[in-house]
Amino acid sequence: MASEGVTIQSETRLRDAKCLVENIVGTIEGMKKQKDGPEQDDDTWILRAYNEIAAIYGLLGMTQQEKEMSENLLLKMEERRGPDDLETMFIVQREALRYWEWGNLKDAVLLFERAQEGQSKMFGEDSIHVIKNTLCLAATSMALSLKYAGEGRDDLRIEKLLQSTKASKRVEAWEKKQLSGDLFQVPDAFFLFQATRQMVQGMLRKTFESGLIHRSVIPKEYFN
């Protein structure tokens, strides 16, 4: 549901979507109060549902509601499942995207780094999630490097540039493996690279147009 994408064409649709989300929240709260529920000792499914609802708010452009819904979500999942659990890693990945969307590049970089490292241990180096998070890490650390450049913080600029370069080299290595047919563990790897790059380019353009980064240090092609 969170990955489909939503287009709002009228205030009526926005209002109806908001009501739907509120109904989902109400249903989940009701389930939490049921004493005989089959999963009463494990609320992981509730936290996952909140994560999806937060994503719906984000798709609808309801940023404040998204922030409220996602607040402390990662901490709760870590308490429930531990910091290196599979479910926790998916929350980390989603939170990284949210922070990027909100313009918090510093935390986004930290979370993308954590996600790709954690999922490398879980799924192996050559896996869809690791590739996607490494691509996002390369982009966000590059954007953060540009932000530091615009602020005259040269030491941090270099640090994040090196981090971006390292992540980019990993992506290049995967692309070479894909071209040689050695990335067989990842179905439709070519389309994965293509789709993720398109998403990253769109997010970067939005970041640059937000005014978060001084325009003088942004590559000119992003404004063509």
Do 123 and 131 meet the contact criterion of CB atoms below 8 Å apart?
A: no
Residues 3, 34 share a domain:
yes
Q: Of 36, 54, 71, which residue constitutes the final position of a domain?
A: 71
Structure confidence at residue 35 (pLDDT): 56
Residues 48, 90 share a domain:
no
Q: End-to-end CA distance of the chain, in Å?
A: 33
pTM of the predicted protein model: 0.82
Structure confidence at residue 3 (pLDDT): 40
State which residues form the domain around 169.
73-223
Distance CA 165, CA 213 (A): 19
Structure confidence at residue 188 (pLDDT): 87
Rg (CA), the chain: 19
Residues 66, 80 share a domain:
no
Residues 208, 102 share a domain:
yes
Q: Which amino acid is at 70?
A: S
Per-residue pLDDT of the chain (224 residues; tens, 9 = 90+): 344 444 445 566 677 777 777 777 777 777 666 655 545 556 777 788 888 888 888 878 888 988 998 888 999 999 888 999 988 999 999 999 999 999 999 999 999 999 999 999 999 999 999 999 999 999 999 999 999 999 999 999 999 999 999 999 999 999 999 999 888 888 888 899 999 999 999 999 999 999 999 999 998 877 76
Q: Which of 213, 210, 209 is nearest to 222 (CA)?
A: 209
Residues 144, 112 share a domain:
yes
Do 102 and 67 meet the contact criterion of CB atoms below 8 Å apart?
A: yes
Burial of 187: CB neighbours in 10 Å, binned 0-12, 13-18, 19+: exposed
CA angle 33-60-90, nearest 5°?
Answer: 60
Residues 85, 24 share a domain:
no
Specify the number of domains making up the chain. 2
Would you state the structure tokens that stand for residue 140, as one six-digit string? Answer: 């966000």
Structure confidence at residue 21 (pLDDT): 75
Q: Which amino acid is at 200?
A: V
